[in-house]
Structure 1
Amino acid sequence: MNRHIKISPDINITDQELLLLIKENDYAAFDKLYGRHWRSVYDVAYKRLKDQNTSKDIVQDIFVDLWDKRKSKQIIDLVPYLHTAVRYKIYSLLAKNKATPHFVEPGG
């Protein structure tokens, strides 16, 4: 069943509610979730890589994956999931030697 709900920018809806709507192919819910979290995902990536383009690519990859696998993903707590996904992407880039030499441990 495809249920599309018009989500106004000022509506108070939780991440879990948005994830449920996303599972039902709700693009507006995905846009709201992306708008709510893209910057923190980018900041986590940039803090470690110090590279804007690679950090933007990581954000895009994570959210594309979230949309592509929306039916099968079982996400309990979104923010830790997103931050773990960033770390995984960074480690994958490092393993493939595609990351910049500016990798920095957080807080360092």
Structure 2
Amino acid sequence: MEHDLYSTLPDEMLGRLLFTGDAKAYEAIYQRHWRALFSIATWKTNSQVAAEELVQELFLRLWENRQKTLIEKPEAYLKTALKYSVIGFIKAKLASAQAELGEASYQAAEQLADTDVDLADLSAALEQALLLLPEKTRLVFQMSRFEQRSTSEIAAHLGLSDRAVEYHITQSLRLLRFQLKDYLAYTIATSFLFS
């Protein structure tokens, strides 16, 4: 019964209770927001595994810092924190490709690391460009570039021929190269996404 009471409290009240160390307020915040945060993180990272880890870390930090900062708007706080977690995830992913990218692209990565704005812009541009792709073409691209699946694996999974998969990849690369051409991270992004 007490748990039900917490679930009806406004976010602002839960934030104040959390600041006092109230574990039930924390549970209510978690139950209210984790699904939406997981959904956002999955879309941004294209990985349910990565999304789960990011959201778990987010709520762990929320609990660990519960009495350091009064969070009056938990939803806005969590979404902003998730945004920066996703940016960190993308930076790490790009950095992991550093050895393959060569010195010029490494320098571009160093520039990129100095400014979250450029990375956020690149991420947003990529998101928008992906939305312009037909659904099947977008799915093929994501399976190829984000899930690292082979042409034959994608073909078997989607019931397509290898040639059809290659066509979808070619089409997606043509549009994405055009959409991302003006960004600072073009060299690094194209090496990572389009190789």
Give the TM-score, by structure 1 length. 0.78
- Give the distance between the partners of 2:22 and 2:34, measured in 1 at CA: 18
1:70 aligns with 2:61: no
Aligned to 1:18: 14
Q: 1:25 to 1:76 in 2, by over 3 A?
A: closer
Q: Aligned-pair distance for 1:55?
A: 0.2
Matched, 1:97 2:119: no
With a CA cutoff of 8 Å and minimum separation of 6, indicate the structure with the bigger relative contact order. 1
Instruction: Answer yes or no: is the 8 Å Cα contact 2:19–2:67 preserved in 1.
Output: yes
Question: Once the 2 structures are TM-superposed, how far is the Cα of residue 9 of structure 1 from its aligned partner?
Answer: 5.6
Aligned length: 102
Local SS of the residue matching 1:105: helix
Q: Which has the higher helix share?
A: 2
Mapped pair 1:49 → 2:45: yes
Q: Displacement of 1:19 after TM fit?
A: 1.3
The question of whether the paired residues in 1 share the 8 Å contact of 2:11 and 2:72 is answered with no
Cα shift at 1:87: 1.2
Judged with a 3 Å threshold, the aligned counterparts in structure 2 of structure 1 residues 87 and 20 are, in CA distance, closer, same or farther, namely same
Residue 3 (structure 2) aligns with: 7
Q: Which aligned runs of 4 or more in structure 1 are off by greater than 4 angstroms?
A: none
Q: Please state whether the residue corresponding to 1:39 is helix, strand or coil.
A: helix
Unmatched runs of 5 consecutive residues or more in structure 2: 96-122, 132-195
Q: Give the counterpart letter for 2:73 in structure 1.
A: D
Q: TM-score, normalised by structure 2?
A: 0.46
Classify the secondary structure of the residue corresponding to 2:127.
coil
Q: Which moved more, 1:82-91 or 1:32-41?
A: 82-91
Correspondence 1:59 to 2:55: yes
